[in-house]
Each structure stands twice: as structure tokens, then as C-alpha cells.
Amino acid sequence: MEQNIAVGLDIGTTKIVAMIGRKNEYDKVEILGIGKSKSLGVHRGVVNNITQTIQSIQLAIQEAEAASASKIDGVTVGIAGQHIRSLQHSDYITRPNSETVIDEEDIERLINQVHKLVMLPGEEIIHVLPQEYKIDGQAEIKEPVGMYGGRLEANFHVVVGQVSSIRNIGRCVKSAGLNLEGITLEPLASANAVLSQEEKEAGVALIDIGGGTTDLAIFRDGIIRHTAVIPFGGNVITEDIKEGCSIIEKQAELLKIKFGSAWPGENKDNEIVSIPGLRGRDPKEITLKNLSKIIHARVVEIVEQVYVEIKNYGHEEQKKKLIAGIVLTGGGSQLKHLKQLVEYITGMDTRIGYPNEHLAGDSDDAITSPLFATAVGLVMDGLKRQDRKKAEAKIDEEIQAQIEANEASEVEAVIEPLKKPRKSFLDKLTEKVKDFLDNAE
């Protein structure tokens, strides 16, 4: 695979999407090819059939390769699923010498301390995101590096998940003949693709309605504050239509997409859809009013669960108000009148999020659909990871050059400003999963 191309692999409950992208000269993401296949073997964001998932991944990858004429070997994968939960935690360290300034190593020490939290069996910390720091009791410090102080405290947003589910995804990627280059939390990937920096500053809740799960990510002051995965998505709505109208799943899905609406008031009683019967049986007649009543009941349930999470974050407190309201994305956000229903239930401003914020201007309309928000976010994440690797390689070269040019004793002073940036937790998680898979062969 040629350099500076990144591949996002979104393993969802209804579809698996492989997307290939690169940066153009204006620093925007240009999508070169996309491949999608029906997802078999994934239930509510969790792999439950390895063989079928591998086949679906391979199909999506082949299609993306054909569309872009590139060979894919490494991918950035998203993780979601109902096993993901988050919690708030605060911790502190006492520094041995308050006469020296706080550096990256102190922060690393503090974050590592959070990693020692005792979790439920099978769970592991995926993500530790510092919110605000406190130094010697002085609160609301965004960046403590370079400051003096003896006691360093921080509030953390800790994301926890089932480690076996993450390893299974790693296993599927590896068995499909691909390298696992990075792992990203899907709500974070979608957020990067559809939200603007202003919205993240003002306070916004991103709701990504997928087939099997609904992901929520809340930002405020540019920092992620809360994440949650609700184990319902578009598939439950289809299931309800299937049961309520006594039809097969394929017909229920088509009905939902073509005639479905989240607002029952707008259909007249005499609007009827006729559905062909199975194998010579009489056709079935379904009123659109009934159809939207079924959809409305389930959508209200999903939105109310999400709203409970938004309230748990503390949206009703003045200090934590989400001024930019709600952004809906994912395939489920394309349901007619959903925006109005969400505004009605939550009383918050709502818009549909299209992943065109960072895409090149001439991108195909199909790619800028909310359906592909996560895949676009994963491509962006892959490109960012490559930039970081290039920056680190450059620092390595500079250090090497300094060592060759100077005596060893002088090198220390020169190297100090060239310290590498701290590894993110997802990078560490990726390495862990890779090690596990290599040793498990």
C-alpha cells in the first residue's frame, strides 16, 4: 500500500465498510475508494461469528481495492458495542520535588495510576482521557506541563470495555490478511468526522444511530466528557415492523426506508401500502399511519435512553449546558422527521451530521451520507496516526544527527526539547491486542 493512504474499517452490525483516503494539498481528506458488504456475524456491535465476519471484511476490502486500484494491507478499526461503558474518576500524585516543573512523565505517572483501577472480570480500561487538572488546589488548569507544584490532580473520563470483544475484532482483521494499525472508539471517530471545533467548544451531544447500537459522545470546552453505547439501533425498529405487520425482514426494512416516519401525526388514515404475499398468497395492506406508530414507539424509547445519558452527564446544570445541542448521524439518522422528534423530546437544538466537515470539496454525495460518518472518521484517524509516526521518525533522525555531531555529554541538553509526544491509550491498546494475537498464533 502506497504511503500516506489510510484505510478505515467500520465493522458494524448491518454493514462492514472499508474506506480508503488520503490528504490532498489543501489538507482535506480525499476518498479514493469505498467497499461495503452485508455484515454477517456481528450482533449489537460485538462479533459473534468469527468466520462470517472475516468473509464480510474480505468482501468489503476487495471492493474498496477494486474501486481505488490500491492494495490494502493495514487498517484502522473502530470498536463499539454494548460492552462499552464510561465512568468519571479523579486521582492525584504527590511529586517528590515541587521545585522542578511538571513534565510529561508526571502526567504519564498519574494516568498509569488510573489504569490500576479495579474493573469487573473481563473488563479493561480502553481509554483514559484527562479532563481538567488541579495543581496544589488551583483548579481548572488545561495544560499543567511547565508549571510548578507538589500535588497534581486530575479528573478523568475512563472508557471501559470487554477485552475479549476487542481481541475478537483484532483476530478477524488479522485472519482477513490485514495489519491492525490502530483501534479507535467509534463514537470518537464519528465525532471527528461530523462535528466542528466550535461545536465541541460550545458543548454538543453526538448521537450515532447504527444498526445494532446507538453511540453517544458528549463534548464541552473541546474535551470529550461522556461516552455511552445504548444496545438498540435501527435493527430493532425493523424487527418491530416485521412483528407488528407480520411481514418478512426484507420487506420491513424497505418499508422503513421508503415510507417510514418517526412522527405518526403526518400520515392520513387512508394512505395504504400493498405488500406482495409470499408464494402466491394474497398481498398485505398496511396503513402508513400504523407503520409510523410502530416506528414512533421504538424511536421514542431509544431517544429517551440517550436523553437519560445526557442528563447523567449533567446537561441541566448551567455550567455543563450543551449550547450546540444535538447532532444526529449514522444510518438511523436518515429516518424522516427524526430531527423534529428529538427536538420535541429533549428540547435541544438538533441537526443531522454529514461527514463533509473535513472531506475534499468534490467528494461524491454518497460518501457524505451520515451512513459513512464512522468510516470517514476512521480514515481521518489513520491519517493522523501516520503524521504522528512521521513526526516521531523525524525526531529520531534529529537525535541521531545530534549524537553523531556532539560528544555524548552534550547530547542530553540538545535532546531534551526533542522529546517524543506521549502515546495515546488507543495506540497502547493496539499494541496490546497485536502482542496478544502474535502470541496466540
Q: How confident is the model at residue 328 (pLDDT cuts 50, 70, 90)?
A: very high
Is residue 414 pLDDT above 60, yes or no?
no
Task: Dump pLDDT digits (tens) for 296-327.
Answer: 999 999 999 999 999 988 888 888 899 999 99
Mean pLDDT score of the chain, rounded to an integer? Answer: 86
Task: Dump pLDDT digits (tens) for 382-401.
Answer: 998 888 888 888 888 888 88
Q: Which tops the pLDDT comparison, 93 or 264?
A: 93
Q: Which tops the pLDDT comparison, 273 or 327?
A: 327
The helix (H) or strand (E) run that includes residue 205 is strand 204-209
Right CATH for 207-353 from 3.40.50.10190, 3.20.20.70, 3.30.70.100, 3.30.420.40: 3.30.420.40
Task: Dump pLDDT digits (tens) for 136-184.
Answer: 988 888 889 889 999 999 999 888 888 888 889 999 999 999 999 888 8
Is residue 338 pLDDT above 90, yes or no?
yes
Contacts of 177 (CB under 8 A, 6+ apart): 58
| The pLDDT value given to residue 316 | 83
Among the listed residues 95, 106, 111, the one whose alpha carbon sits nearest the alpha carbon of residue 144: 106
The helix (H) or strand (E) run that includes residue 236 is helix 234-245
| The pLDDT value given to residue 421 | 65
Q: What is the pTM of this model?
A: 0.87
Strands (E), 51-162: 74-79, 85-94, 123-135, 138-141, 151-162
| The pLDDT value given to residue 401 | 80
Is residue 412 pLDDT above 70, yes or no?
no
Least confident piece of the model among 270-284, 345-359, 378-392: 270-284
Cα-Cα end-to-end distance for the chain: 25
Task: Dump pLDDT digits (tens) for 45-88.
Answer: 788 899 999 999 999 999 999 988 888 888 999 888 778 888 88
In this prediction, what percent of the chain has a pLDDT beyond 70? 95
Domain ranges in the chain are: 207-353
Instruction: Summarize the confidence of residues 110-135 as an average pLDDT.
Output: 86
Contacts of 366 (CB under 8 A, 6+ apart): 34, 372
Is residue 285 pLDDT above 60, yes or no?
yes
Instruction: Summarize the confidence of residues 322-349 as an average pLDDT.
Output: 93
Instruction: Summarize the confidence of residues 87-95 as an average pLDDT.
Output: 90
**Residue 332 C-alpha from the chain's centroid:** 15
User: Which phi and psi (to 5°) does residue 23 adopt?
Assistant: -90, 140
Least confident piece of the model among 16-20, 87-91, 149-153, 358-362: 358-362
User: Which phi and psi (to 5°) does residue 215 adopt?
Assistant: -100, 140
The residue behind cell 420487506 is: 251
Which residues are registered as beta bridge partners of 323?
none
Q: How far is CA 206 from CA 188, 227, 428, in A?
A: 9, 9, 26
Which residues are registered as beta bridge partners of 156?
89, 130
The helix (H) or strand (E) run that includes residue 269 is none
